[in-house]
A and B are shown apart, each in its own frame.
Chain A
């Protein structure tokens, strides 16, 4: 069943149109990966879905039309975003950053505290630094924090914009394992932007190839890597 469906999604910045009517779908329980060169519009796609930039076209999430919905209401529907370049709150402590991720939740302090505990166990580095200012974390630690924070809202769909940015390879691997496990065990759907095509294709249910604001190819990871021209032009292996 489709969880997120965008049709003719157009978005940009002021007079500049970046996305030229793309169609995109994420089914329940899928990990969908968007690949594309720098400036292709991957981040713009994420922002258009989360409602943080003006957009037009149809966007449906979980049966709701969210094309005119404000970002906070979209979060309440169950979409969480890890913005590119982290976007943690530097003056809040690590723990308060995580609590900020739970702002939309109404299921009580106990449930929030339990989740807090859970992500601290998942990311022990954050637990060690729970009362430290987020601004004083290393880049990689902030990235982990941004992801854990997004998960604190208990999303149905996680929008993840280059989570591996600035992470050591081992940490990246660990992080992707966490995402895969959440996907496998709890059915979390993921829309993932990733530069490391090799790594991302590995876990992807489906892949979209984006080029200058258009989708030029889509399909399962196997289909795309079987296509020699695509592989050479976009995937680089």
Chain B
């Protein structure tokens, strides 16, 4: 099959493309908090939260092949660590991120213990029960002194007072007004930094020797073991790291809303399933998959948020969604998911690669030492 364009990975063409894409992203990154309305910024924070959680899950499911339907629990560990430390012990929210990271890592590594023995559906059930148990544990009467029970905790975010300073860069203020008047851009930047941290960690892991071990486990566990991959340690680290990263957007949720309740969506199994779905729709086992899936999910649910009111639905779509009494966002997304399983089993990122492959031939850069020129002809088959 001949394709019109050739692109050499690592060559000037590919760098130009990367730079262009990077420039667009950076432009957007600054445009949103400075120019967009508060409503848009808020939606973006929701998307960033979901991105971080889905990326964390992707490290485990997409790369290591270990399913988890309980990642909402790790999200919840983040939310409650921040919530408890800020509201009860007066910590600064930023300091709590490190504690949440460690706590979630330990819990995640412990959850990996059953994963050493069980696989597939059984592992799904074990992690599902973790997701189910978490809100119950929070609401348990014996825990109420710490977690606030079903009512949850409040005052878990930053205290914005009239005295807060404003930080300006040459008269330009991308952080918003921290005197309690407009804090959305500030929260946006916290979310953005968390997403960048999670992305950088995932990328670092995936592109390293450790990343090859993870994929090896996913592809063929026994073969990985006879290559010298220590299954117990590697799975434990993957679970721990995935859980720890997933706790960070949890912390963010506590900081953002200033309160934590055990029944908010991302802390329940529904949240865990959302992480799973957006990851699969975007493309499991790819770095950008969860990011794209999350953005799309939040876009769809945001656009359809008021569709329970018939009048709000665009006229062409009214016959399809007019019957719905609740916003049909998740329903639409479910249909997208099912359709994708047929046309693009590797998600949007996989589909993108396939479409691009029709037009552009990507020549990977030669690796190892030396170059391979004119490979010797293979011997004729007898």
Contacts and interface: CB of A to CB of B under 8 A. Distances in A.
Interface of A: 50, 52, 70-73, 75-76, 80-81, 83, 87-93, 95-96, 99-101, 103-104, 110, 113-114, 116-117, 120, 124-125, 127-128, 130-131, 149, 153, 168-171, 174
B368 A117 contact: yes
A101 B227 contact: yes
Interface in B225-240: 225-232
Contacts of B229: 72, 100, 103
Given A71-B226, A72-B230, A170-B382, A91 B218 contact: yes
15 contacts: A71-B226, A72-B225, A75-B226, A87-B222, A89-B219, A92-B219, A95-B368, A100-B213, A100-B216, A103-B212, A117-B368, A124-B375, A127-B375, A128-B372, A153-B227
B161 interface: no
- Lowest 10 A-B CB distances belong to which pairs? A75-B228, A87-B223, A104-B228, A131-B364, A89-B219, A71-B225, A124-B376, A81-B226, A72-B230, A116-B368
A76 B218 CA distance: 21
B207 to A, nearest CB: 11
Interface of B: 209, 212-213, 215-216, 218-220, 222-232, 285, 364, 366-370, 372, 375-382
A174 B379 contact: yes
Nearest to B379: A170
A171 B380 CA distance: 9
Contacts of A90: 219-220
A99 B213 CA distance: 10
A170 B230 contact: no
Contact of B223 (A72, A89, A130): A89
Contacts of A149: 227
Nearest to B363: A131
A117 B216 contact: no
A95 B209 CA distance: 13
Nearest to B213: A103
Given A50-B226, A75-B226, 4 more contacts: A87-B220, A117-B369, A130-B367, A174-B379
Nearest to A103: B228
Contacts of A128: 372, 375
B191 to A, nearest CB: 31
Contact of A113 (B223, B369, B378, B379): B369
Contacts of B378: 124-125
Contacts of B366: 130
The DSSP consensus for interface residues of chain A is: helix
A83 B223 contact: yes
Contacts of A125: 375, 378
Given A87-B222, A91-B285, A120-B372, A168 B381 contact: yes
The DSSP consensus for interface residues of chain B is: loop
A51 to B, nearest CB: 8
A52 B369 contact: no
A103 to B, nearest CB: 5
Contacts of A81: 226
B380 A170 contact: yes
A120 B227 CA distance: 19
B226 A127 contact: no
Nearest to B234: A72
Contacts of A120: 368, 372
Nearest to B211: A96
A88 B380 CA distance: 24
B69 to A, nearest CB: 23
Contacts of A104: 227-228
A114 B369 CA distance: 7
Contacts of A52: 222, 225-226
Contacts of B367: 95, 116, 130-131
Contacts of A99: 209, 212
Nearest to A119: B368
Contacts of B209: 99, 103
Contact of B215 (A91, A153, A174): A91
Contact of B219 (A73, A83, A91, A114): A91
Contacts of B375: 124-125, 127-128
A128 B215 CA distance: 23
A92 B216 contact: yes
Contacts of B376: 124
Contact of A100 (B212, B222, B370, B379): B212
Contacts of A168: 381-382
Nearest to B232: A70
B219 A80 contact: no
B222 A83 contact: yes
Contacts of B372: 120, 127-128, 130
Contacts of B369: 110, 113-114, 116-117
Contacts of A93: 364
A89 B222 CA distance: 11
A117 to B, nearest CB: 5
A171 B227 contact: no
Contacts of B224: 89, 100
Given A103-B209, A113-B368, A128-B375, A88 B381 contact: no
